[in-house]
Amino acid sequence: MSKLRIGVLGVSGHFIKRIVLPLAHSKEVTISAIASRNIEKAKSTASRYFIEKYYGSYEELLDDPNIDAIFIPLPNHMHLEWIKKCINAKKHVLCEKPLTMDHTEMIELRSFMKGKEYQLMEAFMYRFHPKWITAKKLIDQHYIGDVTSIHTIFTYNNHDASNIRNIKEYGGGALMDIGCYAINTARFILNKAPIRVSSLISNHDTFKTDVITSAILDFGDSRALFTCSTTSYPQQEVKVYGTEGTLTITIPFNDISELEGQLLFENNETKQTIKLDKTNQYLLMFDEFAKAIQLKSEMPISLEDSAQNMKVIDAIFESAKSDSWVMVD
């Protein structure tokens, strides 16, 4: 079976730093084209990374009949528009998270996708890493008993006013950029959505984006707590507490593919490090995306899953404004 031919909208730093080189080793996909509104940028990127074709507009790439699917690493506020354009151009879509700016847009997107032949998936790459798959199995098999709480920290320090993560109208801010992972992992671990949320948000004086966001997600019989920040020393960790032990996922999101994955397991009888083989979670994600298309099966991450995450994000913003608990549904 031939490889899925991927076109990329935009020459993003994220794509260059984390994705283009690993995909050179894929048996399922190939980056066949890249587009930028600056054609010289597209040309130089294509030349540097041996990408066959380049375009000076996104529309030209979508018109290419030899492209099967599109990867969208554009700023958040552009996702809905270009997802629709890609699907209308008869391309499958893998889009960076979050898919939309809010749940209202998500409702619009889900309505648009009804009955469509071409598929869409949100790029939560961590779900494909063996350490997360192993962690989920250990939790589901009650190796730490019943989950009582999940604590997550995810931070970095970025004061660049021109960076899209610091531009409010582009969907910047800590919650949309990295807090979405804390929500997604809690839902993934517990197999359900929170009932209500409470949050505290600090906004940047100039950017107006949220720079420190903390939240409690109430799942009824358990809870998840997290803090995300764009103005703190870089840290990331997820620790799951159960009635009979704990499980810590180290470097849970920006995994370093050159290092072994690690889980820290502890209960009354043992304390040990579980090591997993080196791998690249982006390569795994793109391969599974391609397999779902080729086999005409459901995407590993559904639109319903993405919509649930967006509901929680909206509720967290609302809670901070009202200074009260907010029901998710």
Q: Looking at residues 71-94, what average pLDDT do you find?
A: 98
**CA–CA dist 262, 316 (Å, integer):** 30
Identify the sign of the CA torsion 179, 329, 195, 136: negative
pLDDT of the residue at 164: 96
Name the 3-class secondary structure at 48: helix
Q: What is the mean pLDDT of the chain?
A: 97
Please state, in angstroms and as integers, the Cα–Cα distance from residue 181 to each residue in 126, 263, 268, 286, 313, following that order.
Answer: 9, 18, 30, 18, 11
Residue 134: strand, helix, or coil = helix
Percent of the chain past pLDDT 70, that is, above it, reads 100
The string of pLDDT tens digits covering residues 170-217 is 999 999 999 999 999 999 999 999 999 999 999 999 999 999 999 999
User: What pLDDT sits at residue 276?
Assistant: 95
| Least confident interval from 219-223, 262-266, 268-272 | 268-272
Task: With cut-offs at 50, 70 and 90, classify the pLDDT of residue 301.
Answer: very high
**Residue 313 CB contacts under 8 Å (≥ 6 apart), including other chains:** 98, 102, 103, 175, 176, 179, 180, 183
Residues contacting 15, CB < 8 A, separation 6+ = 8, 71, 73
CB 313 within 8 A of CB 99: no
Angle at 306 between CA 178 and CA 61, to 5 degrees: 85
| Per-residue pLDDT, 55 | 98
Contacts of 70 (CB under 8 A, 6+ apart): 6, 7, 8, 9, 61, 62, 82, 86, 91, 92, 93, 94
- For residue 66, give every residue at least 6 positions away whose Cβ sits within 8 Å of its Cβ, in sequence order, or none: 5, 32
Average pLDDT over residues 28-37: 98
Which pLDDT band, with edges at 50, 70 and 90, does 86 fall under? very high
Distance of alpha carbon 197 from the chain centroid: 21
Half-sphere exposure of 266 (CA within 13 A, CB side): 8
Examine the pLDDT at 1 and tell me if it is beyond 80. no
pLDDT at 329: 82
**Strand, helix or coil at 288?**
helix
Contact yes or no for 56/34 (Cβ under 8 A): no
pLDDT tens profile 43-71: 999 999 999 999 999 999 999 999 999 99
User: 313's torsion region: left (phi>0), alpha (psi -120 to 50) or beta?
Assistant: alpha
Does residue 291 carry a pLDDT above 80? yes
Condensed to tens digits (0 to 9), the pLDDT of residues 14-29 reads: 999 999 999 999 999 9
Task: Tell whether pTM > 0.85.
Answer: yes
pLDDT 10s digits, 131-141: 999 999 999 99
Between 3.30.360.10, 3.10.290.10, 3.90.800.10, 3.40.630.40, what CATH number should domain 126-283+310-327 receive? Answer: 3.30.360.10
Condensed to tens digits (0 to 9), the pLDDT of residues 231-259 reads 999 999 999 999 999 999 999 999 999 99
**What per-residue confidence (pLDDT) applies to 73?**
97
Closest CA to 290 of 92, 141, 135: 92
Residue 83's SS3 state is: helix
Count of positions (residues) in the chain: 329
d(CA 126, CA 25): 19
Domain boundaries, the chain: 4-123, 126-283+310-327
Q: Which superfamily does CATH assign the domain made up of 4-123 to?
A: NAD(P)-binding Rossmann-like Domain (3.40.50.720)
